[in-house]
Amino acid sequence: MKRREFIQVSAAGAVVTALGGHPCRASGRKNVTIIRGTVSSNGKPLDEVLISDGCRVVRTDGDGRYSLPLGVDSGHFVFVTCPRGYWSDEFYCSTTKAAEQDRVNFSLKQVPQSDRFMFVFAADLSSIGINPREKFGYEKTKNSIREICDLSPIPAFLWIQGDIGIRPDGGKRFLDCLNMATIPTRVGIGNHEIDPRKANPKELYERILGPTYYSFDWGPAHFIVLDGNKPEAGGRGMSRGTVEGSELAWLEADLAAQPKGKPIIVGVHIPIVSTYPARHPNLKETEAPFWQSPNRPKLTSLFTRHGVRMVLQGHMHENERITLGGVEYVASVSLCGSWWRSGNGLERATDGVPRGYRIVTVDGNKVSHRYQSSCESRVDRRGEFMELPDSMSPAKDASFIFNCYDAPQGSTAKARLDDGNWHKMSPVILQDSGVEKPHHWRLVVDTTRLKAGSHAIEACVTWPDGTVVREQHSFQIAVPPQPRKK
């Protein structure tokens, strides 16, 4: 089939994307609504631009025109994938409105986009400003957005992926924060945007922010924003992290439309790959899908097959980096830390990492990234010894715990006292939660031979790619109490 052919309708009424991928069923050949329209910029038609109904994917022709069928399996929006060099905040139209007018035209703005750029990925803003504790979250969120927009170099765009705090006040405070951004923005849905009491649990998000899944290009790269939330039956407000049905069909078609070798980056809220269920001894098997996608094998195979570089994830309020099938799955620390519990002070996430976001750099065909702590929680180090007192008594089994903020799975750690020998460190299970954290290590060592006074402990963590993180902390060995004279 030629690239510019739009659709093929079988005798049974099945509509198959011209770009390959998963077939989407229409509601019957006689009842198929065909949406037509154009994609242009300053009156100039744009060809080879992807258009979708959330299930099928078609391309515009040489005159910028497209023809798109709507069926019972269509999503709630018709949307355009903004191609390289173009952008629009109005990249979608509800399928209801599209069906009523039979036509949707998209006008895109031309914007400069280089082969090298960076963008910021943030997740888990939580509620911002509803109760007394969270009033600090509103100000901290605004401060972080200001900080992000003032980074050097200036990010190409800000990508916020889920748990954005829109339900308590209908999204007013979140939109106030978002409107402060001086750079382009894209937003994805999280489980806390789901309202199980409604016929459409995602109605509020869709009303103020549009489609819950879509894609766009920037520079040489392609970006996919996934929904991945399936509201649990019974109305408990929980979401299972799965990509299925029309969303999966669209994802397969969108990936199939990308040229081989093009950098592809995916974002989703509930992780597709995570070790959290395995690290949580009290988690029931039936609860695992709330923390990791139950169709993980299907998705990871799909991403590997299409050469996806990275999947950015939220939800966990922790950093965790896992490479599987050549794809790096990155759970990125929450912008709200631990739900703004610290008030106006330094805010840590559940893994002890200062709240922050992720800076991703695309340089032609290369993709790299790093964690960045934010604002009042900004630190200059890449890890720290946790809860290490300034002064400690000598002990045969003194415990030192090191948190290497963004160490990937497969990293190794060692530590030494002063200039002594290096000792292997072991992954630690924190006693307050019973959950093994992904980048914490413990050294148990005899300190009874250390003289009273100032000493240093140094940790050295080696990442699978050869990156070495070294941090040192000083502490005091207390002078032992002297026996009283008789």
pLDDT (tens digit, 9 = 90+) per residue, 187-233? 999 999 998 888 999 999 999 999 999 999 999 999 999 999 988 76
Tell me the two tokens of residue 449: 């031979």
C-alpha closest to that of 175 among 134, 132, 128 = 128
Tell me the two tokens of residue 434: 């019973």
Which regions of the chain carry the CATH code 2.60.40.1120?
7-109
pLDDT lower than 70: segments of the chain? 1-31, 129-134, 233-237, 431-434, 482-486
**In this predicted structure, what is the pLDDT of residue 237?**
59
**In this predicted structure, what is the pLDDT of residue 433?**
64
Q: Which residue has the tokens 């080696």?
A: 462
**In this predicted structure, what is the pLDDT of residue 11?**
25
Q: Are strands 230-231 and 221-225 parallel, antiparallel or unpaired?
A: unpaired
**In this predicted structure, what is the pLDDT of residue 21?**
40
Contact status, residue 29 vs residue 12, Cβ threshold 8 Å: no
**In this predicted structure, what is the pLDDT of residue 7?**
29
**In this predicted structure, what is the pLDDT of residue 432?**
59
**In this predicted structure, what is the pLDDT of residue 293?**
86
**In this predicted structure, what is the pLDDT of residue 29?**
46
- By CB neighbour count within 10 A (0-12 exposed, 13-18 middle, 19+ buried), where does 86 fall? buried
- By CB neighbour count within 10 A (0-12 exposed, 13-18 middle, 19+ buried), where does 161 fall? buried
Which regions of the chain carry the CATH code 3.60.21.10?
116-377
CA of residue 48 relative to chain centroid, distance: 28
Contact status, residue 320 vs residue 438, Cβ threshold 8 Å: yes
Task: Give alpha helix (H) positions in 122-231.
Answer: 135-149, 172-178, 203-209
Given 3.40.640.10, 3.40.50.2300, 3.60.21.10, 1.10.510.10, which CATH number is that of 116-377?
A: 3.60.21.10
Contact status, residue 240 vs residue 199, Cβ threshold 8 Å: no
3-state helix, strand, coil in the chain (%, to 5): 15, 35, 50
| CATH code for the structural domain at 383-477 | 2.60.40.10
What residues contact residue 423 under an 8 Å CB cut-off, 6+ apart? Answer: 414, 415, 416, 443, 445
Q: Cα(324)–Cα(85) distance, rounded to whole angstroms?
A: 32
**In this predicted structure, what is the pLDDT of residue 280?**
79
Q: Three-class SS of residue 307? A: coil
* Type and span of the H or E element at 57: strand 57-59
Could you tell me the end-to-end alpha-carbon distance of the chain, in angstroms, rounded to an integer?
A: 101
Given 3.40.50.720, 2.40.50.140, 2.60.40.10, 2.60.40.1120, which CATH number is that of 7-109?
A: 2.60.40.1120
Contact status, residue 77 vs residue 51, Cβ threshold 8 Å: no
Which regions of the chain carry the CATH code 2.60.40.10?
383-477
